[in-house]
Structure 1
Amino acid sequence: MEMENNLMMKNQKLEAFDILRKALVISARNTNFFIFTILTSLPLFCFLVYYESVLQKFLVQISEILKQPLDDLDYVWIIPFDTTRKMNKEYTDGFIHLGLLYLVPLHLLELSTVLVVVDLASKMYTEERPLMTLKEMLHIPLDKTRLKGTFITSLYFLVFSTCALLGLIWLATTYFVVFKGAMYDLFFAVWCGPSFAALLAIYLAWSAVWNGSLVISVLEGTYGIKAFALAIYFSSGSEWRGILLMLMFFAWEISLFCFGNVVKWVACTIYFCDCKNRALEKRLMMKGTTGESCG
């Protein structure tokens, strides 16, 4: 593969916090990189401000529907159906509006940011070019085939991540709507709490794979199911590192979005290269040979 020939890294054993530290160093050490990537993230940030305001307004309206009395025990089981009826009747347009905003402009803006950050981060990390001029950054080669492949992978990413996230939201909403009565709190907290935590861990683990597949598409041109298969193969044995990284950015990215988004994709690039390095090293050990590993 192309990266096996071009990326020459030392066989480092990086844990989650080591990856985060390196991502922070790379993001902050090169002033030109920091300024350039922050500026390229601004359109996404500005759109997210608008999107979050629309989303928050919509959630407030939904919360008003969910605030219903629970004096009658039998009424608890009527609430989900009544709530669904009201939401379908009154908020269908809001759902469609939010969905279109998320699927088109937000997705494309985020993808454009990923293309820039991952390409530059790989050059600075794997090619040992810690300092780059703005002129070098502006001359990013545009491979139409690779751009198309990355877009296809991002569509898979979008479908998978949206379905998983909707599943988590559905579980949380079900608990809130159906089991929010005081007499149900202890029993269903014991059941729903661990279930939600387990599903969140699975979602974070798959997020690391999905992000890795995007990095593979940007750097190597492999796309779609093949990119996901490679991401799964390379991250095998490193699932907990991926979960910890995604958990950190899950909690951090919103509050420091422009900077957090840049650091996230730099970290994903480092994580992918390290995972690939480990996988190739393991393969060489199994063959009983020595040689250069990725990255």
Structure 2
Amino acid sequence: MNEKLSVMELLKRAAKLLLFSNISLPFFLFLCSLPLFCFLIFFELSLQTTVSLTYQFLSQELELGGYFYLQDHKDLSENDLVPWLIQTSLLYFFPYALLDLLTTTVIVAASSVSYTSEDEEPLGLLCLVQRSTKICRKRLLGVLFHAVVALIHGTVFIVLAVKFGKWSAGWNMGLVVSVLEEEDGKGGIYGTNALSLSYWYGRGHEKRDLLMMLMFSVFAIVTRMPCLYSTCSERSSGNGVLYTGIYVGLICVGNVVKWVACVVSYYDCRARVLEKKDDVEIGSKAKAFAT
């Protein structure tokens, strides 16, 4: 059995799959990510305004900003802040969550098709689209159910940062399982069954998966920080939208790389589990034969 893949090896394989294996894959994923990219620009501008108003309101109430800060900013009331909080929350829980789920499902399906393709010639764009669509069409409702389960658990346990990182890695693997795994004669595997199977596949890889999820989470936070700090949404020159578009593009690229790496990790973990299972069965048969 080969050695376990490290985080860097997973990322290298993901980059190789995206950049060198099949030119149709990155082009297809680019097209699939465009709706999410466009929506994220609008969402991030709303988030920046909400964070800025929240900071101003708290500074005003708690007098954290000092005299000169309070003189430079108008008085804010709850009526100024609450509509932005409601708008940003609604944008996150419905359009963003749904778009992100659809985009993720397509990324996982297309990456799997390309990664497991046994054709000597690279898959054409039309063939890649057809195979990916076939997978997505069969699994979308089940994946949606899994996403709802993950969202509920994430909302309940988000205060536990390290545990949330571990659970996030398990949920991501569970979503990949929901898209790709099939139970003999019973269709796909979803919800708690997918989470259980993802835990089984991920045993022995917990630290690696946690590290990878933390890397992508830190990348997303660090990428957002300059615009959140400088409040790009309040700039009238239009540069704020440009800067927001740039970092949203980086976030979308990171999202694609993350899910392709999750697909690579899924096939690596699955192969190891099945290999161990075969070894155990062979050992049991040999022991029974010897006795």
TM-score between the two structures when normalised by the length of structure 2: 0.72
Per-residue Cα deviation, 1:141-166 (whole angstroms, up to 9, x for no partner):
1565522111111111222233344x
**Structure 2 equivalent of residue 26 of structure 1:** 17
Deviates more, 1:133-142 or 1:37-46: 133-142
Q: 2:191 matched to 1:230?
A: no
Q: CA separation in 2, counterparts of 1:40 and 1:262?
A: 10
- What SS does the corresponding residue of 1:13 show, helix, strand or coil? coil
138, 146, 152: which one aligns with 1:159: 152
The number of residues matched between the two structures is 233
Deviates more, 1:263-272 or 1:133-142: 133-142
Q: CA separation in 1, counterparts of 2:13 and 2:135?
A: 27
Q: CA separation in 2, counterparts of 1:98 and 1:57?
A: 9
**Structure 2 equivalent of residue 15 of structure 1:** 6
Is the 1:11–1:277 contact (alpha carbons within 8 Å) kept by the matching residues of 2? no
- What SS does the corresponding residue of 2:43 show, helix, strand or coil? helix
Identity across the alignment (%): 36
264, 270, 273: which one aligns with 1:276: 270
Q: How big is the alpha-carbon RMSD for the aligned residues of Structure 1 and Structure 2? A: 2.4
- What SS does the corresponding residue of 1:17 show, helix, strand or coil? helix
Aligned-residue offset at 1:57:
0.4
Q: CA separation in 1, counterparts of 2:273 and 2:212?
A: 19
Q: Which has the higher contact order (CA 8 A, sep 6+)?
A: 1
Q: CA separation in 2, counterparts of 1:128 and 1:257?
A: 31
Per-residue Cα deviation, 1:19-53 (whole angstroms, up to 9, x for no partner):
11100111112221111101110110111111111
The aligned runs of 1:124-139 (5 Å cut-off) are: 124-128=114-118, 131-139=122-130
Q: 2:161 matched to 1:200?
A: yes
Q: CA separation in 2, counterparts of 1:160 and 1:34?
A: 32
- Unaligned ranges ≥5, structure 1: 1-9, 71-85, 168-198, 291-295
**Structure 1 equivalent of residue 104 of structure 2:** 114
Q: CA separation in 2, counterparts of 1:128 and 1:216?
A: 21
Is the 1:213–1:227 contact (alpha carbons within 8 Å) kept by the matching residues of 2? yes
- What SS does the corresponding residue of 1:141 show, helix, strand or coil? helix
Say if 1:143 and 1:32 are closer, same or farther in 2 by CA, change over 3 A: closer
177, 180, 197: which one aligns with 1:216: 177
Q: CA separation in 2, counterparts of 1:259 and 1:99?
A: 24
**Structure 1 equivalent of residue 287 of structure 2:** none
Q: CA separation in 2, counterparts of 1:150 and 1:288?
A: 35
Divergent runs of 4+, >6 A: none
- What SS does the corresponding residue of 2:134 show, helix, strand or coil? coil
For residue 39 of structure 1, what is the amino acid of its counterpart? L
For residue 215 of structure 2, what is the amino acid of its counterpart? M
45, 48, 61: which one aligns with 1:56: 48
Is the 2:108–2:259 contact (alpha carbons within 8 Å) kept by the matching residues of 1? yes
- Unaligned ranges ≥5, structure 2: 65-76, 182-187, 224-246, 285-291
Is the 2:178–2:189 contact (alpha carbons within 8 Å) kept by the matching residues of 1? yes
Deviates more, 1:152-161 or 1:121-130: 121-130
Aligned-residue offset at 1:13:
2.6
150, 155, 160: which one aligns with 2:143: 150
Q: CA separation in 2, counterparts of 1:249 and 1:143?
A: 25
Aligned-residue offset at 1:126:
2.8
Q: CA separation in 2, counterparts of 1:135 and 1:11?
A: 35
Is the 1:117–1:262 contact (alpha carbons within 8 Å) kept by the matching residues of 2? yes
- What SS does the corresponding residue of 1:111 show, helix, strand or coil? helix
For residue 232 of structure 1, what is the amino acid of its counterpart? Y
Aligned-residue offset at 1:262:
1.3
Q: CA separation in 2, counterparts of 1:283 and 1:31?
A: 36
Is the 2:145–2:191 contact (alpha carbons within 8 Å) kept by the matching residues of 1? yes
The aligned runs of 1:82-97 (5 Å cut-off) are: 91-97=81-87
Q: 2:247 matched to 1:258?
A: no
